[in-house]
A = this chain, B = another copy of it.
Amino acid sequence: MANGNDPILLTPGPLTTSLATRQAMLRDWGSWDAAFNAITTSIRKDLLDVVRGEGTHECVPLQGSGTFSVEAALANLVPRDGKVLVPQNGPYCQRIVKILGYLGRAHAAIDMPEDQHPTAAMLEAAFRADPSITHVAQVHLETGVGMLNPLEEIAGACERHGKGLIVDAMSAFGAVQIDLSRTAIDALVAASGKCIEGPPGMGFVIARRTALEKCGGNSHSLAMDLHDQWTYMQRTSQWRFTPPTHVVAALRAALDQFIAEGGTAARGARYRRNCDTLIEGMAALGFKSFLPRSVQAPVIATFHAPADPAYDFKTFYEKVRARGYILYPGKLTQAETFRVGCMGAIDASEMRNVVSAVAGTLKDMGIRHVAPRAAA
C-alpha cells in the first residue's frame, strides 16, 4: 500500500464506499431548499421500495448512527405500558435490552448462545408463559458474529399471536431479501452506512403507517421523536432539525448505484460471492469459521483466532493493515475471534487479496498452528 493510499475497510460499516458516492459529498446543500427536499423525498421512497413497503409502510429518516434509530423505533412504537420480548443471541440483541432498560419499558429476554438462533416454537412458548408481551424486538443479522436469524419464521409467530415486531435489520437491509408485503413487520431499522453503501451518519425506520399513526406522545425524547419527525416531514418534506446534508446526498448516489446493480438480489449475490471466496481461502490457510455455513450471513465472517502462541490480534491487525486491508476485532466474550467484512464497494478479487495478505502475515509472524486452541 503506497503512502497516502487508503486501506480497504473489511469492517461491518463504515465500509469502503465507491468514489461516485464520496464525490456526491463535494457539494453543499441548503436544508430548506427544494432541491435538497427532493433528495430526501426520493430517498424515503426508494428505501421503502427495497423492502416492498409501498402503500403499507413509511420511511422516516433520523440523524445519528443506526443505534439512534433503533432506540427511536423502540421508544415510539412500543407504548409506555407495552412489554417487549428479545430473543438474544449477540451484542446487538443485548443493546436492544439495554435501550429498553433506559426507556423503562418492561421486557424479557430469551438468552441463547451466539451460534444458535431463535425459533417460532421458542417465541410461542414465551407468549404462552407471559401473555403481557406486546412486542418482539429481533436483530435480523447479528453483526456480532454474522448470524442470520430466521426473520420470516419469527414474523409468522408474531403475526399468529398478534404481537408487534420491531426488527434491527442494520446489516441485512439491501443484502438479504425482506418483503414487507408478505412478512408482517411493524418496524424495520437500518442505516445509511451499511449494505446500501453510503457514508454513516443517518439511520431510518420503515414503520407500518397504522402503527406510526398511533404512536404520538410515546417518545421519551424530542430528538428521537419519530412520530414528530414523520408528521413534520409529511407536511414540509423537510427534516425537523439540521440533516447531515452531505451524507444524505451521498446516500442518494449510493442508492442510484444500488438500483443500477440490480437491487438486493444482485447485491446479496455479490456479497455471497465475497463471503464464499473469503471463507474458502481462509479455510485453505487453516482458519476455522465460527458459524456453520447454514446460518452464515453473507456480510461478515467470524474466524477463530489461531492457537499458535505467536498470534496476537494487535500485531496481526497491523500487519494485515500494512498490506492494505482493515479487519475487525471479534465481539464475542467466550471465544477469541476476529471478523472480516464482506460488504462495501468490493468484489471477490479483494477477498482473494485479503486471504493473500493474511497468508503473508501468518508467515511474517511465524504462526504455524492456524486452527483454534480448543476443538471449538
- Please list the residues of chain A having a beta carbon within 8 angstroms of any beta carbon in chain B: 6-7, 9, 11, 13-17, 19, 22-23, 25-33, 63-68, 71, 95, 98-99, 102-103, 191, 193, 199-201, 219-225, 241-247, 250, 321, 326, 328-329
Contacts A63-B64, A63-B68 given; does A193 touch B242 at CB 8 Å:
yes
- Besides A32-B328, A247-B247, 18 other A-B contacts (C-beta < 8 A): A6-B29, A9-B29, A14-B29, A14-B31, A22-B25, A22-B28, A22-B246, A25-B26, A26-B26, A31-B200, A64-B64, A102-B222, A191-B242, A199-B244, A200-B244, A201-B201, A201-B246, A220-B220
Q: How far is the CB of A35 from chain B (nearest CB, A)?
A: 9
Question: B326 and A30: CB pair below 8 A?
Answer: yes
Expressed in whole angstroms, the Cα–Cα distance for A106 and B16 within the complex equals: 46
Question: B26 and A9: CB pair below 8 A?
Answer: no
Q: Collect the chain B residues with CB atoms within 8 Å of residue A243's CB.
A: 65, 200
Q: Collect the chain B residues with CB atoms within 8 Å of residue A199's CB.
A: 25, 28, 244-247
Q: Which residue of B lies closest to A25 (CB)?
A: B25
Q: 16 pairs across A/B with beta carbons < 8 Å?
A: A7-B30, A9-B29, A14-B242, A16-B28, A25-B246, A28-B199, A64-B68, A66-B241, A66-B242, A68-B223, A102-B219, A200-B245, A220-B221, A221-B221, A244-B244, A246-B246
Q: Collect the chain B residues with CB atoms within 8 Å of residue A11's CB.
A: 30-32
Q: How far is the CB of A129 from chain B (nearest CB, A)?
A: 27
- The A interface is mostly helix, strand or loop, or mixed, namely loop
Q: How far is the CB of A210 from chain B (nearest CB, A)?
A: 24
Q: Which residue of B lies closest to A240 (CB)?
A: B67
What number of copies of this chain does the assembly contain? 2
Question: B245 and A14: CB pair below 8 A?
Answer: yes
Question: B99 and A222: CB pair below 8 A?
Answer: yes
Question: A102 and B220: CB pair below 8 A?
Answer: yes
Q: How far is the CB of A104 from chain B (nearest CB, A)?
A: 9
Q: Collect the chain B residues with CB atoms within 8 Å of residue A25's CB.
A: 22, 25-26, 199, 246, 250
Q: How far is the CB of A196 from chain B (nearest CB, A)?
A: 14
Expressed in whole angstroms, the Cα–Cα distance for A173 and B161 within the complex equals: 53
Expressed in whole angstroms, the Cα–Cα distance for A191 and B9 within the complex equals: 27
Q: How far is the CB of A237 from chain B (nearest CB, A)?
A: 14
